[in-house]
Amino acid sequence: MLTSLGIIFGVAAVICMLSISEGASADEMRMIQLLGTKNIIINSVKPPQDGNAAQTNSNLVEYGITRDDVGIIKETIGHVTHVVPLKTVAYRARHGEHQAAIDIIGTTPDFFDVVNIHIARGRPLTSADIESRTNVCVIGEEVRRELFPFKDPLGETLLVERFPSAVPFVVVGILERVMTAGAPARGVEERNLNREILTPFSTTLAQFGETTRRMGAGSREFIKMQYSGLYVTVDVLEHVLPVSRLVERVFAHGHKQLDYEVKVPLARLQLAQKKKRNNQLTLGFIAGISLLVGGIGIMNIMLATVTERTREIGIRRALGARQQHIAVQFLVETVVLSTTGGVVGVLLGVAGAFLVTSFADWETIVSVWSVAVSFGLSVMVGISFGMYPAMSAAKLDPIEALRYE
């Protein structure tokens, strides 16, 4: 067991490191895939306070995506199947004695298909809601838990707080819990849909207009923006990157200040996959070094064993054993040591990954290929480093070996 410790801990280190890396990569991949690989996401962002932002007074700031931008995208860029607007209009809502700091967002029914979110109960927003400008909403799971902890929210009315009054909305649907990634929780567009209220876009325009009041620590700010976000969906993956470059050109031409950002989940997915491969190569190299050290340990012990058993080797040779018999004897012993160490290392590595998940609350994924590669490497290391001691034993002169004390 002492001889196999290097292999045991080497294999366990390989499996633990790769399982942690796989878990982190899967977490990132899942978050990016939630964005939709066929989507291009444009967000309105507040430009740097350098005096270039268009302001009508000291507290009113105007920036972001405009109707002209949307019109140009729809009319001039091909391969676009959906253009879904988003508009954040308020940041607090209440029901009875319960209230919560959440985002109230106006959008269209296409948003549910573009982002691939589903309704747990009730119904989504519809075209009829848009046309009739009804005061209805769909709420996230955390909104349901905070505002309606003891009752069914379907059909209930919540109040969206908007200075100087509050606007009532009837709950018609509840979203399924959206899988989030990271801490703090990140979901679609790196925000948590479980803490959002979705309302018809036409209703938000009619009820709230284009100006949003946001309170800060000891200050208040009025933001005038036509769209807070935009989802542009492309027909096939091959057109996503070319269309994203055209979208960037539209905004670069129409905006004098950098009051927008363009995110391309497909490009981020490709970058994440490349990063994952680089991480695996780096971790594999580090783990390979640990296995190399374990192999050197086995070779050292086997060389010492050859020295200790020199007289036994001479007796076997005198009784008719050939060089290949002596070589196989020591090589089998080395392979048994490395194989046993590999099995124990695999069990220890899997247990270590489980403990990391249990106590560190960090997702780990033990893949079949990582177990197979680490165990295969341990056997190869045993064969490679056992070859030299075995050949050294086989080449001993029988007469000199018998005389060895």
Q: Where are the domains of the chain?
A: 5-26+271-403, 46-258
Helix (H) or strand (E) holding 380: helix 368-394
Residue 357: predicted pLDDT: 82
Residue 56: predicted pLDDT: 43
Find, among 30, 52, 353, the residue nearest to 186 by Cα: 30
Average pLDDT of every residue of the chain: 83
- Average pLDDT (336-344) is 87
Peptide bond into 153 cis (omega under 30): no
What's the pLDDT band for 50 if we cut at 50, 70, 90?
Answer: low
Residue 185: predicted pLDDT: 46
What is the token pair recorded at 198? 């979705």
Residue 52: predicted pLDDT: 47
If one compares 285 and 57, the residue with the highest pLDDT of the two is 285
What's the pLDDT band for 152 if we cut at 50, 70, 90?
Answer: very high
What is the token pair recorded at 179? 């899988």
What is the token pair recorded at 39? 């989507």
Q: How many CB atoms lie within 10 A of CB 315?
A: 13
Q: Which residues contact 227 (CB under 8 A, 6 or more apart)?
A: 44, 64, 65, 66, 67, 69, 70, 85, 86, 87
Q: Which residues contact 28 (CB under 8 A, 6 or more apart)?
A: 181, 272
Residue 106: predicted pLDDT: 94
If one compares 385 and 199, the residue with the highest pLDDT of the two is 199
| Cβ atoms of 166 and 159 closer than 8 Å | yes
Strand partners, 181: 186
What's the pLDDT band for 373 if we cut at 50, 70, 90?
Answer: confident
Percentage of the chain beyond pLDDT 90 is: 31
pLDDT at 389 over 90: no
Strand order from edge to edge, sheet including 60-62? 54-57, 60-62, 219-224, 211-216
pLDDT at 170 over 80: yes
Q: Helix axis angle, 5-35 relative to 368-394, nearest 10°? A: 160
